[in-house]
Structure 1
């Protein structure tokens, strides 16, 4: 059976607070474990009004302490803002307290933002593709967002003045060396992470394209999480690049892929569409460079006056969100699994009402358990 897991941003909703959001995360994690989900991952986002998951290592510790069996991890640690040693010490501490349950998911973050700001826009196209039943929308260019003054401010706040992020591949190699106890400096000096050395961590690489993340994951024989829910246009290329680069390791004998999806499930298609309606307005807030707004209510979303430019800005995300009854969403997730060859699926759900979010995950888990194999 293909395993289902959850990615949680600890969303802050309009009229809510970070305090309540974090309490909701703990509640959802407990319910996810009871429903049979395999992993519970916490995202890392900073300086945004609508997301409370800014310190994933701290939140992972709280979730692990509140649950008993479910794996808990990061989706993903932003390596552009931290050193390899700091990451290993944090997650080594988590493993020491919750042995055998901690996943360390790694992402390129700061490095990728710099590349996006310098990259030329993708070739202009308005054509979507259907590949093995899966919708692949036109690519979205993040260059204008990466160049915005607010993004540059955030980058400056997340690093010490003058700091430069090492190459992602080098950071991943250093993390593995610290965990294995084999780290040596260029001058040949040893350094040992305590806690961290010998930690029983499951190491993952997360990626949105066929670029360095997919290459590093494949070449180092690590599992790879491909990002359909944020970058649906490039998910197939990302998975293909990972598999092409894969080399067997002590971790994996064959490639292992998890693919993400935005999901909202309710008892009926109509009810799911109602509670999912604020999603487009929320994505718009991100893509205009302001950062994720507090997630609006369906009533607030219905009152927003959309322009054609607004709709074009979020079309790829709306078209690839999986919204509907349990049967509707399960069928679409099966298509995603078959088209990408996913070994696992990672679902993320944001609704204004916490009860709707809990119910969405519970309905999906119940329906999924009866279907895919």
Structure 2
């Protein structure tokens, strides 16, 4: 049986475009996604880059209003930049307006980046060298070293304004525990009951997003929450995260057994040559991110300058794990990823320079997948 397919969107701004156009395109894609049979439409949170999804809760409300049935949610709220009560109240409002349709995704990327920038990330045991491999048709590349990017002064400057001065975010596990307590009405500050309104009693279940076998996978397992492994961002370690999640899973009232979703980056066209041409500027986009500039306006393949050999080396893990081709080719690779990970859902992200090509990419794979 084919597993459900969902969409993860960044509301990307294309070269020559603007945020308003990107947001209109996102609403348009969400409407089409509902008609094509996608199960969920999730929005990523990014800041100070050329994507327009900086405030998922605000955009989720717009998408829910523009559609009728499809689940809409965050992929994911970065808890390192906000508070548990802000998350519960904002998503509580969404649940009150669109009951049963809202997915609350949370991630610790903000906390992780602060640790790496400050040099306070805990040192684990020495890791053995990793080798590039392919398992059942799924590429598992060697990990990309993010340390140079985290030292970039431009990234440090941007991150410095995402919190109030001298603010200290709680540990990710504590924040997730606080969210769960606020949702079920058991939250306390000392001996004082604190009730989040709206939020308390909402039909919300957090989804934890993670990319390695570190804290996120273990927190999802500890609290019996669904786990989303980000193969499209960290293909070297995402499947390890799934294994850790399953090995440590503790059943909860809401989830008696592990629930795994895995993401993939895809570009689909009517033929392979067209798909490859549409995806030909993806490497330039990823390279800009890793060079510390963040996501630049998505380059036009017709005018993008080729990457040098040195630059190609920086992005090869991402270009090799992007699923590009005609519907049959991409469906085959998605099926292999699902079998290898044991995912019960897959979520795809697809970025192209032209909105029409992105629509076509999602339409083709939806039809081939049998949605």
TM-score range, shorter chain: over 0.9
The normalised TM-score by structure 2 is 0.96
CA distance, structure 1, for counterparts of residue 249 and residue 135 of structure 2: 23
Cα displacement string for residues 256-294 of structure 1 (whole angstroms, at most 9, x for unaligned residues): 000000000000011100111111100000000011000
**Which secondary structure state, in structure 2, belongs to the residue aligned with residue 289 of structure 1?**
helix
SS at 1:104 equivalent: strand
Give yes or no for the alignment of 1:152 onto 2:153: no
Contact 1:204-1:224 at 8 Å conserved across structures? yes
Within a 5 Å distance, the mapping from 1:124-143 to structure 2 comes to 127-143=131-147
Distance 1:126 1:309 in 2: 20
Work out whether residues 220 and 249 of structure 1, in 8 Å CA contact, stay in contact via their aligned partners in 2: yes
The more displaced of 172-181 and 105-114 is 105-114
Q: Which contiguous aligned blocks of 4+ residues in structure 1 show a shift greater than 3 angstroms? A: 115-127
Q: Secondary structure of 1:225's partner?
A: strand
Return the alpha-carbon distance in structure 2 between the equivalents of residues 210 and 43 of structure 1: 21
Post-superposition offset of 1:127: 3.5
Q: Does 1:226 align with 2:226?
A: no
Distance 1:30 1:325, change over 3 A: same
What is the total number of aligned residue pairs between the two structures? 366
* Aligned-residue offset at 1:305: 3.8
TM-score by length of 1: 0.96
Could you tell me how far apart the structure 1 residues matched to 2:332 and 2:116 are? 34
Q: Secondary structure at the match of 1:53?
A: coil
Residues 152-207 of structure 1: CA deviation (Å, up to 9, x unaligned): 1111110000001100000000001111011011x221100110011111320000
SS at match of 1:232: coil
Offset, 1:126? 7.7
Are residues 278 and 291 of structure 1, via their aligned partners in 2, closer, same or farther at CA, if it must alter by over 3 Å?
A: same
Q: 1:179 aligns with which of 176, 179, 183?
A: 183
Q: CA deviation at 1:125?
A: 5.7
Does 1:344 pair with 2:345? yes
CA distance in 1, matches of 2:78, 2:131: 32
Question: Helix, strand or coil: the match of 2:303?
Answer: helix
Cα pair 1:116 1:142 within 8 Å, conserved:
no
Residue in 2 aligned with 1:165? 169
Q: Which of 234, 251, 254 lines up with 1:251 in the alignment?
A: 254
Match of 1:45 in 2: 46
The match for 2:93 is 93
**Contact 1:8 1:40 (8 Å CA) reproduced:** yes
Corresponding residue for residue 64 of structure 1: 64
| Distance in 2 separating the partners of 1:319 and 1:5 | 22
Does 2:116 match 1:116?
yes
Could you tell me which residue of structure 1 aligns to residue 329 of structure 2? Answer: 328
1:238 to 225, 238, 241: 241
Deviation at 1:132, TM superposition (A): 2.9
- Superposed displacement of residue 231, structure 1: 0.2
Distance 1:289 1:106 in 2: 24
User: Which residues of structure 1 form unaligned runs of 5+?
Assistant: none
RMSD, matched Cα: 1.5
Q: Distance in 1 between matches of 2:24 and 2:72?
A: 16
Q: Is the 8 A contact 1:208 1:234 kept in 2?
A: yes
**Distance in 2 (alpha carbons) for counterparts of 1:82 and 1:285:** 27
Tell me how far 1:133 sits from its aligned partner.
2.7
Are 2:198 and 1:195 equivalent residues in the alignment? yes
The answer (yes or no) to whether the contact 1:133–1:339 under 8 Å persists in 2 is: no
CA contact (8 A) 1:221 1:252 kept: yes
Deviation at 1:328, TM superposition (A): 0.3
Distance in 1, matches of 2:93 and 2:280, equals 40
**Distance (whole Å) between structure 2 residues aligned to residue 323 and residue 331 of structure 1:** 11
